[in-house]
Every structure is written in structure tokens, then in C-alpha cells.
Amino acid sequence: MARVRVVTDSAAELRPEVAEALGITVVPMVIRFGDEELRDGIDISAGEFYRRLEHSNLMPLGQPPSFRSFQEVYGRLSETTDQIISIHSSSRLNRSYHVANAAAEAFLGRCQIAVMDSASISVGQGILVQAAADVANKGQSLDTIVRLIRGMIPHVYLVFFVEALEYLEREGRIGKAQALLGSMLNIKPILIVEDGDIIPLEKVRTRPRAIDKLFEFVAEFAQIEQVAILQVNSDDEAKDLVDRLKLVFPNRDFPIFPYGPVLASHIGPNTMGIIVYEGMR
């Protein structure tokens, strides 16, 4: 039996060399600036995206890959396998999961395609995708991989704070008056991705206090299997946070990843977050 093939969208922010080494097919999300649509990682890089943000008044919008893109990927992969797992960014944040599901229906009877909602995004989604690819490459069945990912999902956490409140306003998570008042008072909301949605935890008034909250959140875990700090620029703030966390988890690495255009279209630039996978006991 041919091995299970793994598909995801570019919101998982997998490095190209990692995706290639693990045999993961990444379908690019679409980044929209006004009427212009650009494929994430193909028509626009993360660096180009942030440079454009600096010189444009247009707010970017992350959109799912097209129905046709998914059909082309599933069609190509079904020539060499009859089992595919397709893991996508939270259905509460974008429609990638729904479009993939619709595209998979055309392959009923020809190829078994399990489309999964990661209930996460960015490196959190990427952790699940890489875990699926690891066991797929060891010859595990589709049912086994699906059970593994379902078990992992509740143990992946993403916490972050936001500087640019207009992104939360556009997403309908705060009102216009809240955004205006929050900007005037320099308020920084602390948010968590919970059950696939962005939920407010609390509010602080300074960036150092926001970073303290990230530290406190991670320090409460009894164990951590994987972790990553998300920040566009790996500056002294992120490095100082790593040093503090190493005092609590001395044997754990804390890599710093620049988050990409898809997550940035939800939370804006110049913020910081942490992804934690605590592992399954």
C-alpha cells in the first residue's frame, strides 16, 4: 500500500526545506491587497509583504487557496496514493478547511481524503502537519494518523498580544470605539487561540507588561514538548524572553520564528506570540 500523503496550506508556515524533506504538499493561501491577489510564498514573500505594509494604507486580507488549487493537488497525489490527510488552518479564522473539504468530495470512491481542521494557525498548525508527515513516512495508516492529530489538537496553544488594534476591529473582535480608545490609551490586548477562535484574555498598558504575560503563560506548564516564539524581527525583546524562559525550562530550546502574511493579516505586524505544544501524557 502506498504511504499516506500529507497536504496543508501555507498558513502552517513550514519552511520549504522542511516540507520537501517530509514530503508535505503546501497549497498557497492568497494574500489580498485591495483588488490585487497574491499567492503566499509564490507571488509575494514574507519580506515583501512587510515592506508593502510599511508603504501602503491598504490592510491585507488572507484568503483560502482556490477550489481548483486543491483539486489539482488532490488529483496529482491520487495518481500515486489512495490515502491523503489534508490539515488546514482554523475554520474560524479562514475558509481553507471548507474549500479543501468541497474539493475532496470529487475524489470519493477514488481516493480517501481526510480533511482536518487544525483549530490553530502558524507554527501551531505546522506542528500538527509535521507530526502527521512523520508517522505517514513510517508507513502508518490514515486512520492512525487522524487519531494522532485529533489527540494533539487540544494540547497546542497560541497566545499573543496585539499592537495594531485596527486588525481586531476589522475582524469584528472589538468595536470601532474600543479600537480608537485602546489606541489612545496604548492598550495591548492579550489573546489566545481557543477552539480555533481568537479569544481575549486580558489587557495591559505597556509592551514590557505584555511580554511578561507571555512569560507567565508558558511558565505555568508542567511540561513542554515543542515551543516557538513568533515575532517578525528577532530583536532583544524576543531574546530576553528566551533567556527568562530558559531559567524555567533549562533543557528546552526556544526558537524564534517570524510569523508570515496569513497570521499577520489577522493580528497585524509588530506583535509577539508564543506557540506551545505540551505533548500528550
Together in a domain, 11 and 118: yes
CATH number of residue 10's parent domain: 3.40.50.10170
Cell of 104: 475532496
How many structural domains is the chain composed of? 2
Question: How far apart are alpha carbons 88 and 173 in whole angstroms?
Answer: 22
Together in a domain, 76 and 24: yes
Please state the rounded mean pLDDT for residues 246-274: 90
Together in a domain, 37 and 141: yes
Mean pLDDT of the chain: 89
The pLDDT value given to residue 1: 57
What is the pLDDT confidence band of residue 180, given thresholds at 50, 70 and 90?
Answer: very low
Contact 162, 188 (CB under 8 A): yes
DSSP string, the chain: -PPPEEEEEGGG---HHHHHHHTEEEEPPEEEETTEEEEBTTTB-HHHHHHHHHT--PPPEEEPPPHHHHHHHHHHHTTT-SEEEEEES-TTT-SHHHHHHHHHGGGTTT-EEEEEE-S--THHHHHHHHHHHHHHTTT--HHHHHHHHHHHGGGEEEEEE-S-HHHHHHTTSS-HHHHHHHHHTT-EEEEEEETTEEEEEEEESSHHHHHHHHHHHHHT-S--SEEEEEESS--HHHHHHHHHHHHHSTT----EE---HHHHHHH-SS-EEEEEE----
Residue found by looking up cell 514574507 in the block: 46
Give residue 11's identity as a one-letter amino acid code.
A
The pLDDT > 70 percentage for the chain reads: 91
Contact 99, 126 (CB under 8 A): no
Cell of 197: 477562535
Domain boundary among 97, 126, 153: 153
CATH number of residue 199's parent domain: 3.30.1180.10
Question: How far apart are alpha carbons 104 and 92 in whole angstroms?
Answer: 20
The pLDDT value given to residue 201: 84
Q: Which residues constitute the domain of residue 193?
A: 156-277
The pLDDT value given to residue 186: 64
Together in a domain, 69 and 102: yes
Together in a domain, 239 and 263: yes
Domain boundary among 104, 135, 153: 153
Nearest to 87 by CA among 196, 230, 226: 196
Contact 196, 98 (CB under 8 A): no
| Residues ≥6 apart with Cβ < 8 Å to 172 | none
The pLDDT value given to residue 171: 59
Q: Is the pLDDT of residue 226 over 70?
A: yes
Together in a domain, 173 and 260: yes
Together in a domain, 20 and 86: yes
Residue 226, CA distances (Å) to 45, 197, 207, 264 in order = 26, 21, 25, 22
Exposure string of 23-35, with b = 16+ CB inside 10 Å and e = fewer, is ebebbbbbbebee
What is the pLDDT confidence band of residue 185, given thresholds at 50, 70 and 90?
Answer: very low
Question: How far apart are alpha carbons 14 and 25 in whole angstroms?
Answer: 10
Please state the rounded mean pLDDT for residues 24-48: 94
Q: Order of strands, edge to edge, in the sheet holding 83-88?
A: 24-27, 5-9, 83-88, 112-117
Q: Is the pLDDT of residue 175 over 50?
A: no
